[in-house]
Structure 1
Amino acid sequence: MATRESMENLMQQCEDAIRYAQEQYKQSSLQEHYNNDDYTKALFELEETYQDIAKMAQFANSQQRDQLHRMRLQLQELQNNLIIQDR
Structure 2
Amino acid sequence: MATRQSMENLLQQCEDVIRHAQEQYEESSKQEQYNDLGYTEALQQLETTYNDVAKMSLHANAQQREQLHRMRLQLQQVQNNMILRDL
**TM-score normalised per structure 1:** 0.99
Inter-partner Cα distance in structure 2 for 1:70 and 1:53? 10
CA drift at 1:77? 0.5
- Partner of 2:75 in structure 1? 75
- Aligned partners of 1:12 and 1:44: how far apart in 2? 17
Q: Residue type of the partner of 1:66?
A: E
Deviations 1:33-52 (A, max 9, x none): 11000000000000000000
Q: Stretches of 4+ moved more than 4 A in 1?
A: none
CA RMSD of aligned residues (A): 0.4
Aligned residues: 87
State TM-score, norm by structure 2: 0.99
**Map of 1:29-40 to 2, 5 A cutoff?**
29-40=29-40
Q: Which runs of 5+ in 2 are unaligned?
A: none
Identity of aligned residues (%): 68
Specify the SS of the correspondent of 2:34: coil
